[in-house]
Structure 1
Amino acid sequence: MPHHRSTQADVAALAGVSQATVSIVLSGHTPKGVRISDATRNRVLEALRITGYSANPVAQRLAGGKNQLLGVFTYEKTFPRGGRDFYGAFLNGIEEAAEQLGVDMLLFTSARVVDGRRRLAGDGWQRLGIADGCLLLGQQEDREELQHLLDTNYPFVFIGKRETDKHLLPYVGADYVTATARQVDRLAALGHTRIAYAGVQSDDQSTRDRVDGYRDAMTAKGLAPRFLDLRDAARGTGEIVESGVTAVLLAPENDPDEIVDAFEARGLAVPRDVSVVLLGQPHLPPRRGRRWSGFSVPREEMGARALVLLSRIVHQDAEPTRRSPVRPSAALRLTDADYHQIIDCPDVEGDTVALAPSLTRPFERNPS
């Protein structure tokens, strides 16, 4: 039998007062010219205890004009399936920052997923209005939707570098360009001259940044860029052997353990014959416990800093409150650097990088 949810009318009837009196007691603020005796207030509080009534926090906040609610919208499904956990670290950072800022978070999940991507079109715009602002996460965003948010001045921050024609879109991203270039420098310092980039050539911003970092670093060293597609691991590793490549930069969509298995099937060992560097955490968790060399993406820091930025955008014209420690003075005067934050990706030493084979053995595999 369903349990009846108590209402303000139930509380008012039990206490023998009006619903307006119950509302005033719940708010904790007595309007000017209104007097509620201690006895009446105590009767209302006792009725609240007996009925177990709990106010609708969204309705209370909307009535007060300040929700203290911020949202998170993800273009792909949020929670991991098949071992994939793209969003977990971002959400950890968001939660930590939300606790410190004293705000509650809403996860928008009702938008239908079509071809692996959610869209805000339809009633999604109205749903966002529940929150004061929203964080956006996703590998494949809708550019028209982002422009609509900009045009309507809805407060939002994208987690991940994003660019628009007028560079107005606020984001907190990772510095994939510099981090990828450092991996080329690391391998070149170990004598590698045939360094390949293995990854799908897609149009998303993070892929473009990684490719730009790789190509620029190779060109600066007078080395020829080589691009491989390792979705078919056996075929791709065969191409590596035939071309004489001695080091591979793996984009995160690759399964590094599968690549190592394909190398070993050809009698090659990592890192003795081929050095392997990961350009960020792989989408699938490693199975062998190998310590991969490369760089990591500071996802928790990105999530936390994005929420702080969003809070500053939302509150930059508001007075500070006990629940919102960010003050609207100099701390809220946002600059271009605030709106477009890029965070360094720390290197991971690992054990999958070694000297080029030509420096440790008197032969070189099939030089091209």
Structure 2
Amino acid sequence: MPRRRITQADVAAMAGVSQATVSFVLNDSNPSGVRISEETRQRVLDAIRITGYSANPAAQRLAGGLTQILGVFTYEATFPQGGRDFYGPFLVGIEHAAEKLGVDILLFTSARVEDGRRRLTREGWQRLGVADGCLLLGQQEDRGELQHLLDTNYPFVFIGKRGSDGGRLPYVGVDYATATSRQVERLAALGHTRIGYVGPRGTDQPTLDRVEGYRLTMKQRGLTARFVELDDVAAAATEIGDQRFTAIVVAPENSPEELADALEHRGLRVPVDVSVLLLGQPHRPRPGGRRWSGFSIPREEMGARALYLLSRLVTADAGQAGSRAAAQVPDDELRQLLECVDVDGATLAPCPPEPTGSHDRTEPA
């Protein structure tokens, strides 16, 4: 037979006190006019230990207490699939921060992934109430859901830079624009003037920031920005004259190993003939593959910093009503951008000399 759930009434009976006293001890509170002696408090704690009582998290939150549980919700499937482990480093950082804070992490996975995206709607809102606050991450977020969380003053932090009406959305992201700008400068310092951008032109924030960093730096350098599709890179690199690329910056999700293979199939060596810098490290590195130059994204630090920020918002929410909670955290901490770290790698070289004629670039038979 299943064991009956121990209740506060059971703890109160064993300790010889009222249920209200048990609740006050659990929440570590002393309401005005109520005095709980150390002896009584210890009796309650002993009864909790002996009975193995565990408070109902949802009920405890409804009563105004904190569960010491922080949630994690991802808009895409979380665990590695086909060798891809994009979320893994985030979760490692979150776990390390949780250990230091002394809180538990609850991963919300019950919402089904449909068309590559999860939704918080319907039962999702109630499930979030089990946790004191929640971390959100993923590329396929629903802006309406984020606005709902803001409007209801539920503590949350997005991992990754995000915009919102009035700039109220708290996040911990990375400065893709500055990091991308540095890669263009690295190439320009080695004499490259024909630098192409390879990657999607989507509307997600990381893509927008990368494109902005590339476009602005090329303009400041007096160079022409040129965007090229992945399938056209090898052909563009073998053109003659001013149209030929000598370097490209590449969004890492665009299979850089296959791209380099296509270049070498046309007789172009990386980096002797074409330098390649990745705007982030590969999602699926090839075993024994190239050591890519570019920058890396501090995913573990992002996860840890996001959890620390969420903990501060939860603490502020417990002591302040509604929208005043975020006011306890300075603006520069509510919206944090971390620096990416440049990687030397082995795919960056000085600009090659101009070919003397079209015979210098021939495709293999």
TM-score (normalizing by structure 2)? 0.83
Q: Secondary structure at the match of 2:336?
A: strand
Alpha-carbon deviation of 1:149?
1.1
Would you say the 8 A contact 1:248–1:277 is kept in 2?
Answer: yes
Paired residue for 1:238?
A: 235
Would you say the 8 A contact 1:312–1:332 is kept in 2?
Answer: no
CA change 1:353–1:46 in 2 (3 A) is closer
Paired residue for 2:322?
A: none
Paired residue for 1:4?
A: 2
Alpha-carbon deviation of 1:170?
0.8
Q: Secondary structure at the match of 1:8?
A: coil
CA change 1:212–1:20 in 2 (3 A) is same
CA deviation map 1:69-103 (0-9, x unaligned): 11111010001101111111111111111111111
Within 1, Cα distance between the matches of 2:282 and 2:311? 31
Within 1, Cα distance between the matches of 2:293 and 2:36? 68
Equivalent residue runs for 1:275-354 within 5 Å: 275-316=275-316, 318=318, 333-354=328-349
Within 2, Cα distance between the matches of 1:358 and 1:105? 56
- Determine if the alignment matches structure 1 residue 55 to structure 2 residue 50: no
TM-score (normalizing by structure 1)? 0.82
Q: Residue type of the partner of 1:104?
A: D
- Determine if the alignment matches structure 1 residue 175 to structure 2 residue 138: no
C-alpha root-mean-square deviation of aligned residues, in Å? 3.6
Alpha-carbon deviation of 1:8?
2.5
Would you say the 8 A contact 1:197–1:250 is kept in 2?
Answer: yes
CA change 1:250–1:123 in 2 (3 A) is same
Alpha-carbon deviation of 1:283?
2.1
Q: Residue type of the partner of 2:282?
A: P
Within 2, Cα distance between the matches of 1:358 and 1:339? 48
CA change 1:12–1:161 in 2 (3 A) is closer
Paired residue for 2:77?
A: 77
CA change 1:179–1:363 in 2 (3 A) is farther
CA change 1:166–1:348 in 2 (3 A) is same
Within 2, Cα distance between the matches of 1:215 and 1:164? 24
Equivalent residue runs for 1:145-224 within 5 Å: 145-224=145-224
Would you say the 8 A contact 1:12–1:19 is kept in 2?
Answer: no
CA deviation map 1:327-365 (0-9, x unaligned): xxxx98322211111111010011100011117x76797
Q: Residue type of the partner of 1:240?
A: A
Q: Secondary structure at the match of 1:121?
A: coil
Structure 2: runs of 5+ lacking an equivalent: 320-325
CA deviation map 1:283-322 (0-9, x unaligned): 2223333211000011111111111111111112547xxx
Paired residue for 1:327?
A: none
Within 1, Cα distance between the matches of 2:29 and 2:210? 58
Q: Secondary structure at the match of 1:110?
A: coil
> Higher mean Cα deviation, 341-350 or 145-154?
145-154
CA change 1:262–1:24 in 2 (3 A) is same
CA deviation map 1:41-63 (0-9, x unaligned): 89968974xxxx56356268446
Paired residue for 1:323?
A: none
Structure 1 runs (4+) greater than 3 angstroms displaced: 15-21, 27-37, 40-48, 59-64, 361-366
Within 1, Cα distance between the matches of 2:65 and 2:166? 31
Would you say the 8 A contact 2:94–2:300 is kept in 1?
Answer: yes
Within 1, Cα distance between the matches of 2:57 and 2:189? 58
Would you say the 8 A contact 1:132–1:314 is kept in 2?
Answer: yes
Q: Residue type of the partner of 1:135?
A: L
Q: Secondary structure at the match of 2:166?
A: coil
Within 2, Cα distance between the matches of 1:201 and 1:30? 54
Q: Residue type of the partner of 1:274?
A: V
* Number of residues of Structure 1 aligned to a counterpart in Structure 2: 347
Structure 1: runs of 5+ lacking an equivalent: 320-330
Q: Residue type of the partner of 1:278?
A: L
Within 2, Cα distance between the matches of 1:342 and 1:149? 22
Would you say the 8 A contact 1:24–1:30 is kept in 2?
Answer: no
CA deviation map 1:231-255 (0-9, x unaligned): x4xx432233224111111102211
Alpha-carbon deviation of 1:165?
2.9
Paired residue for 1:263?
A: 263
Q: Secondary structure at the match of 1:118?
A: coil
Q: Work out the percentage of aligned pairs sharing the same amino acid.
A: 57
CA change 1:17–1:212 in 2 (3 A) is closer
